[in-house]
Structure 1
Amino acid sequence: MSDKLRIGITIGDYNGIGPELILKTLSNKLVLNYCTPVVYGNTYVFKHYAQLLNINPITFNIVKKKEDVKDGAVNLRFCNEDRINITPGEPSIEAGKFAFDALELAVEDVKEGIIQNILTAPIDKKSTTDAGLPFNGHTQYFAQKFESNVQMILVDDDLRVAMVTGHTPLNSVSSALTSEKITESIKSMYTHLQSDFGIKKPKIAVLGLNPHGGDNGLMGSEEINLIKPVIEALNKNDVIAVGPYSPDGFFGSNNVKNFDGVIGMYHDQVLTPFKQTSFANGINYTAGLPIVRTSPDHGTAYDIAGKGIASISSFVGALYLINKIHRNRLKFYDSSTTPLPYKDHRREKFSIGVPDLN
C-alpha cells in the first residue's frame, strides 16, 4: 500500500446532492495526488447524474477485493445491485436503504483494511431509519459500530464547537445536564483538540444554559450550581476552560476568536451561530473513533438536488480535514513520525477546493 490515505466515500442519499458532490470533487485529478478515493455506490447512479448535470463521467476502477484498489484512480465498491428509481429531490425508503448499505460496506472495509477513513455524503435520517438504520444519524451509527464514546465537533478552520446534550429535545435539556456530562464533554474536547488538531494547550470556552448566563441566578441556577463548579474543578487539573459565558454576547462580541474550542449545553445553542457564519464551509467531525470520519455540515439539500448548483466547499473541506487529523494523530501518538509541512497542505487544499468545473 502507498503512503496515500485510502479514503472511503459513501454516496449518502442518491436523491440528494451526494452524487453531485462526489462527481464534482473527484473530477479534479489533483485529488488523486492527495488520497486514494474508494467510492461506495454504483455506476448507474453516477452515470445518471453525470448525464443529468452535464458533467464528464468518471471512469471508475471496480474493486471486488483489497488487491483491486488502485492508487491514482477513482475506485468504486458496489454496495447495492438492486434495481433503483432515482427521483432527485424526493426522499424514499429505497434511497435510504442504498445509503445504509453503503455505510455497512464501508465500515466492513475499514475492518478488513481496504480503506482507512470515511467521508460520508449526507443522508436523510428518516429514510435510512425506515430502511433499517437503527440510529438517528451517522454519529450514533459509527459510535456503535466501533464501540466508541464519540463527540460531534463542528469545524470551520479555527472555529470548533461541540455540545453536551446533542440531539436532546429542548424541554429535556436542563434535566439531562449533570456535572459528569459537562465534565466529560469538556475533557473530551480538550483531548481531541490535542490529538486531532495539534493544539498543545487548548483553551475552551464554556457557555451557560440560561438567558444572560442566568444573570446571577435570576433566570436559572444551572450556571451557579452545575457549570461553574465543573469549570473550577477542571482548571485545578490543568484543563483550561473559561466561562460560563452568555451565548448571545459571546458570539456577538467575536470572543470566540480567543478560544480553540467552544462547548455549549445544547444543540442549537452552538449550531445556530456556527451555521450562520460557516454554512458553506462547515464540517461535521466524529471525534473519538479509531478512524477519522467527516461529513459536510449540511443535509441532502433536496431543494437543489439534480440542478447542478450544489457547492462542494464543505465536502472538499471534509476530505481535506481527514488528512489533517490523520497527520496530527500520527504526530501525537508517535513522536518519531514527521508529518508533512502544514503550509504544503494549505496549498493543496486551495488547489483541490477551487477546480474549474465550468
Structure 2
Amino acid sequence: MNPQEQKPKVAISVGDINGIGYEVIVKALADKNILDFFTPVIFGSTKHLNFFRNQLKDETIQFFGINSADKAVEKKINVVNLWKEPAQMEFGNATETSGQMAFESLEAAAASVKNGDCDVLVTAPINKKNIQSKAFNFPGHTEYLGEVWGGKPLMFLVTESLKVSLVTQHIPLKDVAQKISKEAIVEKVNALNDSLKMDFGVRKPKIAVLGLNPHSGDNGLLGQEEQEIIIPAIQSLYEKGMLVFGPYAADSFFTPSNIGSFDAVLGMYHDQALIPFKTLCFEEGVNYTASLPYVRTSPDHGVAYDIAGKGIADETSFREAIYMAVNVFQKRAEYKELTSNVLKTRELKPERER
C-alpha cells in the first residue's frame, strides 16, 4: 500500500481523568470526517467518555467497545475498556487513583504500539506528580517512552511554522549549566537534523542554536558557556556540512523573520524555548517525541484542573496532535521507501575464459 493511502491505528491514552484529557479527546473525535484519516483506539472507559458526549449533547458520537486493540474497526471510535467499574471523576483534584489510571492507560496504549496492534501513540496530559509510583518513576511521558520503547527521546515542540527542541528537559534550573556540554549539543542537533529529514521531509535542515546566558554571554562578560561549549559545538557540526547557526540571544530571537529563516530551534533549557513557543503557538502546538522507533505526540498543554469538567476546554491542540502523528507516520514510511531503494553495487563476476 502507498504510504499516503495508509489509515493508521492511533492509540490514545486518556491521561489524568480529573483533568481535560477525556474532554479534548471526545471533542476532537466529534467530527465524523476525521475518521477518514485514521482509526482511533482509546485506552480508557466508555462510561467516562459517555459523560462528555452527554455534556456535548451529541448523540451521534458512538463508542465501540473492544477487548483488545487488534479488534479495532475502521470508521469507529474504538475503546479498550481497561476498567469494568472506573473510578468516579473528581474534576480538578490530583488523586492517587487518577494517577494510577493515567499510568494504566499509558502503559496499555504504549504496549499496543510496540506490539504492532496500533501504529502511533497520542497521549492526553498527565499530572507528573500523582502518576509517580514504583512502575512509573520518570519526569514525564518522554522519559518513560524512552525506557519502554528504547532509544534516546528528543522533546520536539512543533507547528508548521515553528519547531523547537531542548538540550536539557525536565530538570531544575539550577542544574542546567552543568548539564550543557559540547557532546550534548552535538547529539541533540544530530537528532533534530535526522528527525527533520525523516519525519518532516526537510531535505537540508537549517537549525538555530540559542545561547545559555543573557545576550549569549556578551563575548564572555556574562558567562563562558557560549565561548567554551556552545560555539565549538556549532563549529564542529558546521564543518561536517550541517546548516547550524548561532548562538543567538534568546530574548530577541523569536521574531517572524528569524522563525521563518530556520526549520528548527534548539534551546538550552525548558522555559527558554517553551515560553515563546507556547505564547506564539498555544492552540496549534504539538509535543512530538522524536528519535524513538515509534511515533508519539501530545497536545502542548497540561491537565488544566482549573477548567476540568466545565466543557470549555479547547481541543485544537489535541486534534493537531492526532494529525501530526498520522503525518509523521506517513513521512517515515515514505522516507523508508525512498532510502531502501537506492542503487546497490553488485559484485562483478569474472569473465569466462575463452
**Normalized against structure 2, the TM-score is what?**
0.91
Q: Which residue of 2 aligns with 1:15?
A: 18
The one-letter code matched in structure 2 to 1:282 is: G
Instruction: State the secondary structure of the residue aligned to 2:48.
Output: helix
Shift in Å at residue 279 of structure 1?
A: 1.3
Structure 2 residues without counterparts, runs of 5 or longer: 341-354
1:289 to 2:299 alignment: no
Shift in Å at residue 51 of structure 1?
A: 2.9
1:159 to 2:175 alignment: no
Shift in Å at residue 135 of structure 1?
A: 1.1
Give the distance between the partners of 2:187 and 2:83, measured in 1 at CA.
Answer: 39
Q: Which residue of 2 aligns with 1:44?
A: 47
User: Given the superposition, is the C-alpha separation of residues 165 and 66 from structure 1 closer, same or farther in structure 2, using an over 3 Å criterion?
Assistant: closer
Answer whether contact 2:46 2:65 (CA < 8 A) is retained: no
User: Given the superposition, is the C-alpha separation of residues 269 and 314 from structure 1 closer, same or farther in structure 2, using an over 3 Å criterion?
Assistant: same
The one-letter code matched in structure 2 to 1:45 is: H
Q: Which residue of 2 aligns with 1:208?
A: 211
Q: Counterparts in 2 of 1:1-358, with a 5 A limit?
A: 3-56=6-59, 58-65=61-68, 67-130=70-133, 132-252=135-255, 254-335=257-338
Aligned pair count reads: 338
Shift in Å at residue 131 of structure 1?
A: 7.9
Give the distance between the partners of 1:54 and 1:307, measured in 2 at CA.
Answer: 14
The one-letter code matched in structure 2 to 1:234 is: L
Give the distance between the partners of 1:23 and 1:174, measured in 2 at CA.
Answer: 42
Q: Give RMSD over aligned pairs.
A: 1.9
The one-letter code matched in structure 2 to 1:182 is: I
Shift in Å at residue 252 of structure 1?
A: 4.3
User: Given the superposition, is the C-alpha separation of residues 202 and 83 from structure 1 closer, same or farther in structure 2, using an over 3 Å criterion?
Assistant: closer
Structure 1 residues without counterparts, runs of 5 or longer: 338-358
The one-letter code matched in structure 2 to 1:312 is: E
Shift in Å at residue 253 of structure 1?
A: 6.6
Shift in Å at residue 190 of structure 1?
A: 0.8
CA deviation digits over 1:135-179, x for unaligned, max 9? 121101111001111100001212000010111211111111111
Shift in Å at residue 108 of structure 1?
A: 2.0
Q: Which residue of 2 aligns with 1:345?
A: none
Shift in Å at residue 254 of structure 1?
A: 3.9
User: Given the superposition, is the C-alpha separation of residues 156 and 119 from structure 1 closer, same or farther in structure 2, using an over 3 Å criterion?
Assistant: same
Answer whether contact 1:156 1:283 (CA < 8 A) is retained: yes
Shift in Å at residue 250 of structure 1?
A: 1.2
Shift in Å at residue 113 of structure 1?
A: 2.1
Give the distance between the partners of 1:37 and 1:335, measured in 2 at CA.
Answer: 28
Answer whether contact 1:118 1:294 (CA < 8 A) is retained: yes
Shift in Å at residue 232 of structure 1?
A: 0.8
User: Given the superposition, is the C-alpha separation of residues 67 and 187 from structure 1 closer, same or farther in structure 2, using an over 3 Å criterion?
Assistant: closer
Instruction: State the secondary structure of the residue aligned to 2:156.
Output: strand
CA deviation digits over 1:106-157, x for unaligned, max 9? 1222233221111101111111115842212110111100111110000121
CA deviation digits over 1:209-264, x for unaligned, max 9? 11111111111111111111111111111111000111112124741221000001
User: Given the superposition, is the C-alpha separation of residues 29 and 276 from structure 1 closer, same or farther in structure 2, using an over 3 Å criterion?
Assistant: same
Shift in Å at residue 68 of structure 1?
A: 2.2
**Normalized against structure 1, the TM-score is what?**
0.90
User: Given the superposition, is the C-alpha separation of residues 306 and 56 from structure 1 closer, same or farther in structure 2, using an over 3 Å criterion?
Assistant: farther
The one-letter code matched in structure 1 to 2:98 is: A
User: Given the superposition, is the C-alpha separation of residues 295 and 67 from structure 1 closer, same or farther in structure 2, using an over 3 Å criterion?
Assistant: closer
User: Given the superposition, is the C-alpha separation of residues 54 and 127 from structure 1 closer, same or farther in structure 2, using an over 3 Å criterion?
Assistant: farther
The one-letter code matched in structure 1 to 2:266 is: I
Instruction: State the secondary structure of the residue aligned to 2:185.
Output: helix
Tell me the percent identity: 41
Answer whether contact 1:96 1:131 (CA < 8 A) is retained: no
User: Given the superposition, is the C-alpha separation of residues 247 and 253 from structure 1 closer, same or farther in structure 2, using an over 3 Å criterion?
Assistant: farther
Moved over 4 A (4+): none
